[in-house]
Chains A and B, each alone.
Chain A
Amino acid sequence: MIARFRHWSGKELSSLLWHTIRALALVVYTALLAEAFVRLSDPQPVMPRYVTGTAWGVRGNIPNARYWHHTPEVDVEYRVNSQGLRADREYPTNKPPGVCRVALFGDSIFFGYEVDLQDSFAGQLENRLKEHGIPAEVLNFAVSGFGTAEMLQTYESYGRHFDPDVTIFSWSQTDPSDNVRSDLYELKYGQLVRVNAEYLPSVKFQDMLMRYRLYRLINDNSQFYAFARESISIALKNRLEFARIASLTSLGRTGDGPASVNGDSDILDSWHRIAKDLSSALVLRAHDVVVADGGDFYLVEFPERVTRTQIAPTIDSLSTAALSRIKVISAIADLSDAARPDLKLFYEKGEGHLTPIGIRVMVDKTVRVLSASPQLAACAQRSRTVLKTSNVR
């Protein structure tokens, strides 16, 4: 190649150089123009996801990551500890004596997107439990984008080693489709079967990109990139979901055996049934595993915002059979009571997560429900005993 250039005249080389510089300048100009256009015409929230692969085959938070989200409503800093948990401290695997552990498994809502650490569900819950005399330590295992299947996988492979007294899974509107799309589990004739060892969408690609400082700079600051990434991500999710719908419905693999599928509405109905059955089975499996470990299991329902004063339930996408066996914490009534036209319970210009006020309502309800938890009561009792013993010494 270099030998070829040796035969070029100075004029040809300078022409090549000029064209290369011009092309590069055009690329930079286009990028700056795109960024300026988005910022001026339709400001976007910049909410990069700092996730990577884990040894247990699903996504996890990048250990020791420190990053920011900027939306038209908030600027939030996130710190992830070396264990991949959103926290400003490390947690020993063995539970210290006199401590009651609550483990949270969920998606970006539990993780605390758009709110500071102390305002997050974990932060507020820990403080409120302490106010109630429970020496609680709330461990936040949530990862943005998680469905129940990934929560279960994280609990079984990682979270249970921290010996939580109470385990809380989140439930939101995206979970049914997340559970089917991840293809980690499937229902075969009513039985929950593990079908794939891992679900790491785009993780390798993102890991590769995150090695470059320039990419991190763009990822953390560019509104145009945030818009493009979000649009592509939604398109890919829809495509993946469509492929899963096609494969599941055409194969007729449903919870109750082969299905007959006629027309689009049947396919959609069939899809909803598959998602409902699978999600219900996953929630029940999580419940059984946690209970078998000696913990107490709860499912927190995160409702959907319709308007500032209208809030819609999401729990109806689980079967009544599953709901009759698990303890659900639902704060729909509390949120509806708190809702006012001049009050934001949900953010409106980012990704629609709960505001600290909305989380406080949810946490109040959670604390009320947890006060009846036998495991937490027993733990609190043990803590008092430990405290007395140490005081006597």
Chain B
Amino acid sequence: MLFNSGSFALFFALFLPIYFICRRHVAVRNSLLIVASYVFYGWWDARFLILVAISTSVDYIAALGSADKPVRENDVLKSASFLIVVTIASLSLATRHDWWLVAPVTAGILIIGLLIALIKRVAAPSQPKCWLLLSLTTNLGILAFFKYFNFFVGSATILLTTIGLRVQAPTLSIILPVGLSFYTFQAISRTIDSYRRQFDPQYSIINYAAFHAFFPQLVAGPIERAGHLMPQFETVRPINRQQITTGTLLFTWGLYQKIVIADNLAPIANVVFNAPDRQTAGATLAAVLAFALQIYCDFAGYSNMARGLARCMGFDLMVNFNQPYFARTPSEFWQRWHISLSRWLRDYLYISLGGNRGGNARTYRNLMITMLLGGLWHGAAWTFVAWGAFHGAIQVVYRVLGINSLIERSRFLTVHGFVIQTGSWLVTMSLVCVGWILFRSHTFGDAVIVLKDLVATTGYSSEVFLTLFAYSAPLVLVEIYQRASGRLEFLTAGPFIVRYTSAVILLLALIVFSAPAGQQFIYFDF
């Protein structure tokens, strides 16, 4: 179900009154949230609810075990019951052709049951590690199979063929479940935090399942930390008029970013990236800029909608984008872009690899590994890996040359500082855009063509840039205002008439300028 669809509007209109009625009873409210979230997710494909339930059931007990809390038979039973109920419900909605799923699901459940039994026999001091391994294996196993199986097999086949071995590799027609990378990462994060004693998991599968499948952020984040979001599922959330007003405004701004800016700019980028060999320099430059804005508004728009919806329900989700295109260095860009993923990669990968504690060489190695895997997280293609490697490499270069500290030391209000900061911003944005070419291109060959087109000097026409300007100018003005005022939620500032006028203009812009052809959220594919 897409936030910008009629079916979601109907779903939320039916859901919200019931939610308000039962919001004061934590167990009832969370049960309602589970049902609503599973309906929301199952609307796309009910079969994949089983994966959400597997991740939920395993991580419920794995987090308890990782935190060195006793995993009682009662907990295993609750976990297994939850998985069985969801599996039956999911398969009852599937067609007869999908009944073969019963066999692998049963086998999977039996294997997990066996592993749990084995872990319980392991010596007590090693048990938390085993529970953590169970969580990692389950979540990364699901991710590896559904997202990367064909990629790895295909890459291995190419490699073997290159060295002269003829192999007939098996390929499966696997559907990538929506939001898989997001909810598995969130589940892993909770178990690791429990293992590190940074989070104390509680004995309620209802509360955990509601957290795990919370529909505003289930399919495209933010990837929340249990320490921030989980306690909110364990208490009655206060809701007041201001929260509903600001939540609605945040949702509306997110919707504007998505259906007015991102969807209207998408065709400019699509034309070039779908046939890069037939383009002029002007069209290519416009396409690269359009894609940079499209992906920002698409993803930041979704995050804002998710935060707005959650706020209307009394929940607080983290800020996922903090004006990334104001970044002056690549590392600052990653502190502002997809913050929940950046922090996840930093805390669970970069720091686990040693961070910057083992000297410069190890720091650079850790940075490169983190960014490579971060690139791979975005998609099963070498272009994404190259994109991650590119970002890793430019961060290493900035560190080696000491550019980060030079920029930090400069003061914007002096002439010298202004030149340094503006120049570094321009360089960073150019590098980010080059990265987007790798990210958006179907192949490396296409990326090279786009880069070649960019440095040509012919074929600049004003028409395409006018469209780009028309849709990006309001965003630029808003971002400048946000930057100057320090308020990301710009629609809640000022006296009533200013706020009211801004809200009405935003709604009118939504009505008048919505793109005729809606586009899928880009990050749904990751």
Contact = CB atoms under 8 A, between A and B. Distances in A.
B512 A37 contact: yes
Interface string A217-241: 0000000000110010000000000
A238 to B, nearest CB: 12
B126 interface: no
Nearest to A41: B512
B500 A38 contact: no
Across the A-B interface, give the 4 residue pairs with the lowest CB-CB distance, nearest first: A37-B508, A42-B512, A33-B504, A30-B504
A312 interface: no
Nearest to B508: A37
Interface residues of A, number: 11
Interface of B: 500-501, 504-505, 508-509, 511-513
B513 A42 contact: yes
Contact of B512 (A26, A30, A33, A38): A38
A34 interface: yes
A34 B504 CA distance: 8
B513 A37 contact: no
Given A34-B508, A227-B511, 5 more contacts: A30-B504, A33-B501, A41-B512, A41-B513, A42-B512
Contacts of A41: 509, 512-513
Interface in A21-39: 26, 30, 33-34, 37-38
B451 to A, nearest CB: 32
B116 to A, nearest CB: 44
B508 A26 contact: no
Contacts of B501: 33
B481 to A, nearest CB: 19
A26 B501 CA distance: 10
Contact of B505 (A37, A42, A231): A37
Nearest to A38: B512
A41 B513 CA distance: 9
Contacts of A30: 504
Nearest to B507: A34
Contacts of A227: 511-512
B192 to A, nearest CB: 45
Question: Which among B505, B509, B512, B513 has the greatest number of chain A C-beta atoms within 10 A?
Answer: B512
Contacts of A38: 508, 512
Contacts of A34: 504, 508
B108 to A, nearest CB: 33
A215 B501 CA distance: 25
A38 B513 CA distance: 10
A235 to B, nearest CB: 10
A356 B432 CA distance: 52
A105 B500 CA distance: 49
Interface centre among B500, B509, B511 (most CB of A within 10 A): B511
Nearest to A34: B508
A38 B512 CA distance: 8
Interface string A38-56: 1001100000000000000
Contacts of A228: 511
Nearest to A37: B508
Nearest to B505: A37
13 contacts: A30-B504, A33-B505, A37-B505, A38-B508, A38-B512, A41-B509, A41-B512, A41-B513, A42-B512, A42-B513, A227-B511, A228-B511, A231-B511
A41 B505 CA distance: 11
A42 B504 CA distance: 16
Nearest to A35: B508
A227 B509 CA distance: 12
A42 B509 CA distance: 10
B495 to A, nearest CB: 14
A210 to B, nearest CB: 25
A195 to B, nearest CB: 30
Contacts of A33: 501, 504-505, 508
A30 B505 CA distance: 9
Contacts of B500: 26
A33 B512 CA distance: 13
A227 B508 CA distance: 11
A39 B511 CA distance: 14
A33 B511 CA distance: 14
A26 B509 CA distance: 19
A241 B508 CA distance: 27
A41 B504 CA distance: 14
Interface string A304-322: 0000000000000000000
Contacts of A37: 505, 508-509, 512
Contacts of B505: 33, 37
A34 B505 CA distance: 8
A37 B501 CA distance: 11
A30 B509 CA distance: 14
Nearest to A227: B512
B472 to A, nearest CB: 15
A228 B508 CA distance: 11
